[in-house]
């Protein structure tokens, strides 16, 4: 039996290659309603390698004109993509709900985040600091050697392959952060759709392709393709026309793409966000409040753990709780709060099965015991959320306790001293986030932990939860391996554009041959660093 959402009349089940709807010749796949495990229409056809080459060749052809767009046209394109997505909001959210089991409010908010980050990058493009213009003026009279005129700017890398994430069908998918930042950098994108939400991908893909056409850009600026990751995805990364990769997903898939990219005759960077358990550290002061305060803190933790069925890369999967009465009181409060929680539908049957296998593996370890458990949900693929506990020594000696379980499962680590906290932190792999719950009285105890966390994570929070990621100028959503493949970058926020740019210097080139960003007359009105000093463009900041 198949169920057909109201968006069927708009969906073709085809890839979009350089603006054209292209049926694949490599088989078919369906999206599935994870609440019922029923397939959704239409079937999506999968492309073969020859069709993939059409997409990458078109991206290469588009690169010259797209990479040299003037700022106003470039920014208008990103704004138009956002406008087109918003025009499809109702059917987009309906299809995404059917394909992912995520609630309407979550997906409505995610749509806003998607369009918001596109408009944020449009502002970045208009402002222009990502060009990184530096000018060292000629000093012909300098002794003992004169200095040449040297100008530097950052240029786009070339066509970028982007892979959609399973857990964010919008904000980390077709027009998500990787696509938005690559397009903002001036790089055409070949997007490999996630097969768990193909209809959602097609609706957004059409919004981007329409914006390309409406702005009169080369159609190869964007292509959306469907195909198996193990074959078409690997072939996409291996294609010599592709110059960088953006990926959000599992460690196994991410490292496989990294290996393919490294083995090419011309290796390319893979910016992969993969695995994180996001440690949370409770200090004594944070648990010293009255019963109501502790209950509220436990409820907020459970809310962070179970939101979106725990299928967030920033979910609090590891919690350090002090040994003794304060920690006991908090653990008991978490157990009570968790007992009232029912499992939510997970994204796919496969993800739910992996969660179950991970929980069984964790719970079977010596020295691990249950802290609390919720109730199974009423739909397919909605297991009960769980929290387990162990001591710090067991955590440090058992590799299995360091593994990510993607979903609503967490492990409490009971510790007795700051030295134990520091030792356990040093033992951990790289993470996206670390969170401190503390009061003013805990500052002295927490201070020695901060340098350790700086070496391990990309974002350090205080008295909050890691499952909210603001999209802005200062955000870092990255971290040391295996959180990401490159700890110097972020996949959220405006700094993400830097991943798809590289510096080029121009020495003594005639003015007529210089590109617009570094010309003496500064036609794009860019801020510059001239001889080491910041020089604002005329009208900057107005």
Residues forming the active site: 273, 313
Distance CA 352, CA 408 (A): 10
- For residue 45, report the phi and psi dihedrals to the nearest 5 degrees: -80, 145
Q: 17 and 58 in contact (C-beta within 8 Å)?
A: yes
CB within 8 A of 313, min separation 6: which ones?
167, 248, 273, 276, 432
CB within 8 A of 412, min separation 6: which ones?
319, 320, 321, 331, 334, 371, 387, 388, 389, 390
Distance CA 190, CA 184 (A): 14
Residue 381 tokens, joined: 């693929």
Helices 104-127 and 89-100 cross at an angle (nearest 10°) of 120
Distance CA 498, CA 156 (A): 9
From first CA to last CA, the distance across the chain in angstroms is 60
Q: 202 and 190 in contact (C-beta within 8 Å)?
A: no
CB within 8 A of 533, min separation 6: which ones?
none
CA distances from 78 to 85, 179, 202, 215 (A): 11, 11, 18, 10
Map residue 60 onto helix, strand or coil.
helix
Largest CA distance in the chain: 83
Distance CA 328, CA 346 (A): 31
Strands of the sheet with 533-535, listed across from one edge: 501-507, 150-156, 134-136, 528-530, 533-535
What does the chain come to in residues?
542
Distance CA 39, CA 29 (A): 9
Reported as type and span, the H/E element at residue 506 is: strand 501-507
In sequence order, what are the beta bridge partners of 156?
A: 501
Distance CA 381, CA 36 (A): 8
């Amino acid at each position: 039996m198949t169920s057909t959402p109201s968006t069927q009349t708009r969906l073709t089940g085809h890839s979009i290659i350089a603006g054209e709807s292209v049926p694949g010749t490599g088989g078919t796949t369906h999206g599935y309603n994870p609440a019922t495990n029923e397939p959704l229409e239409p079937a999506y056809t999968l492309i073969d390698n020859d069709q993939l080459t059409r997409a990458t060749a078109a991206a290469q052809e588009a690169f010259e004109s797209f990479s040299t767009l003037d700022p106003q046209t470039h920014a208008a394109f990103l704004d138009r993509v956002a406008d087109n997505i918003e025009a499809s909001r109702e059917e987009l959210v309906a299809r995404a709900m059917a394909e992912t089991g995520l609630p309407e409010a979550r997906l409505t908010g995610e749509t806003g985040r998607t369009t918001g980050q596109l408009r944020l990058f449009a502002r970045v493009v208009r402002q222009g600091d990502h060009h990184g213009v530096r000018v060292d003026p000629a000093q012909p009279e300098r002794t003992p050697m004169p200095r040449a005129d040297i100008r530097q700017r950052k240029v786009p890398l070339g066509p970028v392959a982007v892979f959609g994430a399973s857990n964010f069908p919008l904000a980390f998918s077709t027009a998500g952060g990787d696509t938005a930042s690559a397009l903002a950098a001036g790089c055409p994108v070949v997007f490999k759709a996630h097969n768990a939400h193909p209809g959602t991908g097609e609706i957004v893909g059409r919004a981007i392709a329409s914006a390309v056409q409406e702005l009169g850009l080369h159609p190869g600026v964007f292509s959306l393709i469907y195909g198996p990751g193990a074959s078409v995805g690997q072939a996409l990364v291996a294609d010599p026309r592709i110059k960088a990769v953006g990926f959000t997903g599992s460690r196994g898939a991410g490292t496989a793409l990294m290996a393919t990219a490294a083995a090419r005759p011309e290796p390319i960077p893979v910016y992969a966000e993969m695995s994180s358990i996001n440690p949370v550290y409770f200090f004594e002061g944070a648990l010293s409040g009255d019963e109501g305060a502790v209950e509220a803190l436990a409820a907020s933790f459970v809310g962070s753990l179970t939101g979106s069925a725990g299928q967030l890369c920033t979910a609090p999967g590891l919690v350090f709780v002090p040994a003794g009465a304060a920690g006991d009181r908090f653990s008991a409060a978490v157990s009570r709060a968790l007992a009232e929680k029912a499992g939510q539908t997970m994204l796919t049957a496969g993800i739910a099965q992996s969660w179950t296998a991970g929980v069984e593996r964790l719970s079977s370890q010596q020295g691990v015991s249950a802290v609390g458990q919720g109730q199974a949900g009423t739909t397919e693929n909605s297991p009960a959320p769980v929290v387990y506990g162990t001591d710090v020594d067991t955590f440090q000696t058992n590799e299995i306790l360091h593994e990510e379980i993607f979903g609503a499962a967490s492990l409490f680590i009971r510790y007795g001293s700051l030295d134990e906290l520091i030792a356990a932190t040093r033992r951990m792999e790289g993470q996206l986030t670390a969170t401190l719950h503390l009061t003013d009285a805990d500052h002295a105890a927490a201070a020695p932990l901060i340098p350790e966390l700086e070496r391990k994570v990309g974002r350090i929070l205080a008295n909050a939860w890691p499952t909210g990621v603001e999209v802005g100028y200062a955000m870092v959503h990255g971290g040391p391996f295996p959180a990401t493949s490159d700890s110097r970058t972020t996949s959220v926020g405006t700094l993400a554009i830097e991943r798809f740019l590289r510096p080029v210097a121009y020495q003594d080139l005639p003015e007529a041959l210089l590109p617009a960003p570094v010309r003496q007359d500064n036609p794009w009105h860019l801020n510059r660093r001239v001889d080491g000093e910041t020089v604002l463009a005329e009208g900057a900041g107005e």
